[in-house]
Amino acid sequence: MRAKSVLVSCSLSVLFLAASLAFAQSDDREPAPRFHAKTLEGEQFNNESVKGKVVLFQFWTTWCPYCKSEEPLVNDITKEFANKGLIVLAVDVAESKKKVVEYLKEHPRKCRIVLTGDTNLAAMYAANSYPIYVVVDRDGKIVDTQRGAGGERSLRRMLENAGLESKDAE
């Protein structure tokens, strides 16, 4: 009878361990650094204001051909997920407001635009090559970071990892 009790106890321990490991994956995510950002339209964002939302940071420049090629994708993502709790902040790195505003006249964006001088994000994420994407989940934890253009599939996978279901999900 003792052997049966030990076997049941071991089995329960293994099940508990397996369940703990399954849930521990989300606990391994690193909290996003404390940030502040002001858009060209004057909207203010910080960790508290985005709580409960998924945030996609895109670090870009007007001269980056890869950034430019992914603008339609980011615009589509912004539109598709706007009512599902996604906030897209496109942080232009190290360019003047005048240059960015002129660029946006010819290349309108659907996402919110932030300038380097109006945020501490570029330094936090060492934005020195472009584009860079960072996804933060509803709990304020970093889900994924991607340096360089990865295309639609990659960006959608990052958002799905944060809990946003894509229309193209298989």
Across the beta sheet with 36-39, what order do the strands follow? Answer: 44-46, 36-39, 112-119, 86-92, 54-60, 132-136, 142-147
Query: How confident is the model over 150-169, as pLDDT tens digits?
Result: 999 999 999 999 999 866 54
On whether both 35 and 22 belong to a single domain, the answer is: no
In a domain, 167, yes or no: no
Query: How confident is the model over 69-78, as pLDDT tens digits?
Result: 999 999 999 9
On whether both 37 and 21 belong to a single domain, the answer is: no
**Cβ contacts of 163 within 8 Å, gap of 6 or more:** 54, 137, 138
Confidence (pLDDT) at 165: 81
Supply the CATH number for residue 60's domain: 3.40.30.10
| pTM of the model as a whole | 0.82
Number of domains in the chain: 2
In a domain, 64, yes or no: yes
On whether both 46 and 105 belong to a single domain, the answer is: yes
Q: Kindly tell me the sign of the dihedral angle through the C-alpha atoms of 149, 153, 158, 163.
A: positive
Query: How far apart, in Å, are the Cα atoms of 3 and each of 14, 20, 78?
Result: 16, 25, 59
In the chain, what's the furthest Cα-to-Cα distance? 81
Q: Which domain holds residue 10?
A: 1-28
Look up tokens 């709990």; give the residue: 139
Confidence (pLDDT) at 118: 94
On whether both 14 and 38 belong to a single domain, the answer is: no
On whether both 8 and 71 belong to a single domain, the answer is: no
On whether both 80 and 108 belong to a single domain, the answer is: yes
